[in-house]
Amino acid sequence: MNDGSLVALVALGAFHGLNPGMGWLFAVARGLQERSRALVLQSLPAIAAGHAASVFVIAAVVTVTGSVLTSRIVSIGGGAVLVGFGLWRLLSRRHFRWVGMRLTLWQLACWSFLMSSAHGAGLMLLPVLTHGAVTAPGHAHGMTPGAGSAVTAAVFVTGVHTLAMFIVAGTIAVLVYEVVGLAVLRRAWFNLDRLWAAALIGAGAATLLIAV
């Protein structure tokens, strides 16, 4: 994996962590409901775990497929899917629904998994996955490329991305809970959905361009 890919991976993690809809806001809400900072802190790993699971599914599918097929086919196919999904996110007016507020940590992780999957969090990593990640970790350890190293690559990508997401989401959650207060939502909750959709389309286009 080259430095550029790593930076992209971390940046996308930070972007996902920043989005209130991806979980930090839920952690804050749970803490405020019970007036407990501990609950904020407990919620964050569950949210990160759900996010990681969602990203890992995509990362594993792409890297394992990539170890069997040529990366060009994966890139073109994946890129097309990504552009399509991004356009759907941009144009669709449906929003995610999960009706409950009182969730166990396990349910919270499931919520996070569904939320990340519905928003295509893993798909957004496609350019990184198809452009270098398949070979990098395996080669670093002198392993031959194959399904095994592909899974290792997927774990690596998921880990780096989720760590960045977790740090950003955690920092914001604690800051909002302890210092800033939720009034900030009214001013600073920008419509990331559109930016998000644009990022998906951009990622898909980039994947296609590199492949073709």
Q: Does 32 bind another protein (CB under 8 A)?
A: yes
Residue-by-residue DSSP string for 138-198: HHHTTPPPSHHHHHHHHHHHHHHHHHHHHHHHHHHHHHIIIII-TTHHHHH---HHHHHHH
Minimal distance, residue 86 CB to another protein, in Å: 16
Q: Which of 73, 146, 190, 198 touches another protein by CB under 8 A? A: 190
CA distance 188 to 98: 24
Rule CB under 8 A: is residue 94 a binding residue for another protein?
yes
Place of tokens 């019970």: 34
Which residue in the set 5, 12, 13, 20 belongs to the binding site for another protein (CB under 8 A)? 20
Is 91 a binding residue for another protein by CB under 8 A? The answer is no
Q: Could you identify the residue written with the tokens 């904020």?
A: 40
The distance of closest approach from Cβ of residue 129 to another protein in the complex, given in angstroms and rounded to an integer, is 28
Total number of residues that touch another protein (CB under 8 A): 33
* Contact call for residue 189 and another protein (CB under 8 A): yes
Q: Show Cβ contacts of residue 104 under 8 Å, excluding neighbours closer than 6 positions.
A: none
Residue 38 near another protein by CB under 8 A: no
Measure the CA–CA gap between 184 and 187, rounded to whole angstroms: 5
Residues that bind another protein (CB under 8 A): 20-21, 25-26, 28-29, 32-35, 93-103, 111, 182-183, 185-191, 193-194
